[in-house]
Homo-oligomer: A and B are copies of this chain.
């Protein structure tokens, strides 16, 4: 079984090496299909398939029931057994969680209300593969209200909330997911979504690309009826661009990862809050007066820097890109090389997307009690591996907090072993998830209803007008009142009164 995307593109311009490595690892995976091997390798398939949200803990569930859901026969109250979840009896608890989430996802609820008149997804058969949480449930039930039929699997073997899955199954959604799937379970669940007698999907909603990959490998003919793919993750989007470059993408795909609203919320605004939260929950440190170096001044770095500056920290920034560097200067941060400040800082935060930004040499030179953590999307930014040497002692002092102790007694405080701090040590506000879910819903509607020819076999950004619509659906949360253009003003500006309001290259 060869690499699904050919990866001849791997050496092409601007394809990150980590994409190539990842492709290599997958080939390894296919050679050693032992259970353990598979599970560990599942990580290589999509980064998100094994990471878990700390908030994604099961609420009530500590049952000792070790029977695999695959081996159980369950029915919901209407008699259907077209699902596979941990325990259908947990449905009631899950329903309450969904109801609470509904209160904080006003945009999807607004879509549902509109759907009482029109059903823009009537006839849509959506197969989905995402984290299965209360928020996802609100999305799925919204898609249902908009007219779609859905079948769903989990994109991560740990992140499923069993009670929510049960509630979805109870209300008639064919869901195949539970917390703690094996690698084999993982693909079995996906297959159960896709491979159904008398039902064939015409839309894909993916998070990480595994579902798309599976259909490419196993049921390539299905693409004849599929109208489009909506993909949310960095990894999945990269795969799609590679497919497109290789000429192998046979349906339109929508990259919702790079939508304005998603980018700003997931990165700038969310990180502005979660950096403080992650540091506090793990270390109880005081921010005032602390010296901090933030590596990288993209949206994530901007958020981290703004928050820490506001809390009274003294913040230094490192950058490779002179434009971002100049922004850091104008925003009031000293731009330095890491070496210049490494001896004096109290906290080191990486958010570059790069690898080995913090090396063993840097770690050796840090002062006692220095805190080191990562806010970037992969766990390669800090060279944690270099700390696993005999002369250093590791001491786990709290969950997600390690003291690494040098022979002379110096301690470094390493958070989440260098993995993404805000995924590991804080939670993601429902409001942010609401933005993303709404974007996904609109992307599905757009692709499903687009007239012939609007989208070709390529990867698209969400049309600006829909991005604007996502934003507008979230304004009522803030009791925010938008101004409308008068006819005269619209004419003056050469704009349609309903948008889009900006040229495509506008930077916000």
Chain A: residues with CB nearer than 8 A to chain B? Answer: 13-19, 55, 103-104, 258, 260-261, 263-265, 269-270, 272-273, 276-277, 280-281, 284-291, 307, 309-314, 318-338, 340, 344, 353-357, 368-369, 380, 426-432, 461, 467-469, 471-472, 474-475, 477-486, 488-489, 491-495, 499, 501-503, 505, 507-508
Tell me whether B429 and A495 are in contact (CB under 8 A): no
Q: A322-B469, A325-B475 are in contact. Are A427 and B355 (CB under 8 A)?
A: no
Q: A55-B284, A356-B489 are in contact. Are A478 and B369 (CB under 8 A)?
A: no
Q: A269-B288, A469-B322, A499-B321 are in contact. Are A15 and B494 (CB under 8 A)?
A: yes
Distance between Cα atoms of A15 and B467 in the complex (Å): 22
Distance between Cα atoms of A269 and B326 in the complex (Å): 11
Tell me whether A289 and B329 are in contact (CB under 8 A): yes
Distance between Cα atoms of A336 and B328 in the complex (Å): 22
Q: How far is the CB of A244 from chain B (nearest CB, A)?
A: 14
Q: How far is the CB of A311 from chain B (nearest CB, A)?
A: 6
Distance between Cα atoms of A320 and B336 in the complex (Å): 29
Chain B residues contacting A337 (CB-CB under 8 Å) are 481-483
Distance between Cα atoms of A321 and B326 in the complex (Å): 28
Distance between Cα atoms of A14 and B504 in the complex (Å): 12
Q: How far is the CB of A395 from chain B (nearest CB, A)?
A: 10
Distance between Cα atoms of A104 and B368 in the complex (Å): 11
Contact of A17 among B13, B285, B309, B492 (CB under 8 A): B492
Q: A467-B323, A489-B355 are in contact. Are A479 and B291 (CB under 8 A)?
A: yes
Chain B residues contacting A430 (CB-CB under 8 Å) are 284
Tell me whether B329 and A313 are in contact (CB under 8 A): no
Tell me whether B356 and A13 are in contact (CB under 8 A): no
Which of chain B's residues has its CB closest to A491's CB? B17
Chain B residues contacting A281 (CB-CB under 8 Å) are 277, 281
Q: How far is the CB of A102 from chain B (nearest CB, A)?
A: 11
Chain B residues contacting A286 (CB-CB under 8 Å) are 269-270, 273, 429, 431-432
Distance between Cα atoms of A336 and B16 in the complex (Å): 43
Tell me whether A261 and B332 are in contact (CB under 8 A): no
- Give me 15 A-to-B residue pairs in the complex whose CB atoms sit less than 8 angstroms apart, sorted by A's number: A19-B494, A260-B323, A261-B323, A272-B312, A288-B332, A289-B330, A289-B332, A307-B310, A321-B468, A322-B469, A325-B475, A325-B482, A354-B485, A355-B489, A357-B489
Contact of A273 among B55, B263, B311, B354 (CB under 8 A): B311
Distance between Cα atoms of A468 and B281 in the complex (Å): 32
Q: How far is the CB of A317 from chain B (nearest CB, A)?
A: 9
Contact of A480 among B335, B427, B428, B483 (CB under 8 A): B335
Tell me whether A481 and B284 are in contact (CB under 8 A): no
Tell me whether B494 and A16 are in contact (CB under 8 A): yes
Q: How far is the CB of A429 from chain B (nearest CB, A)?
A: 4
The 3 closest A-B pairs by CB, nearest first: A310-B310, A335-B480, A322-B472
Distance between Cα atoms of A146 and B199 in the complex (Å): 69
Q: How far is the CB of A313 from chain B (nearest CB, A)?
A: 6
Chain B residues contacting A475 (CB-CB under 8 Å) are 322, 325-326, 329, 335
Chain B residues contacting A468 (CB-CB under 8 Å) are 321-323
Tell me whether B322 and A288 are in contact (CB under 8 A): no
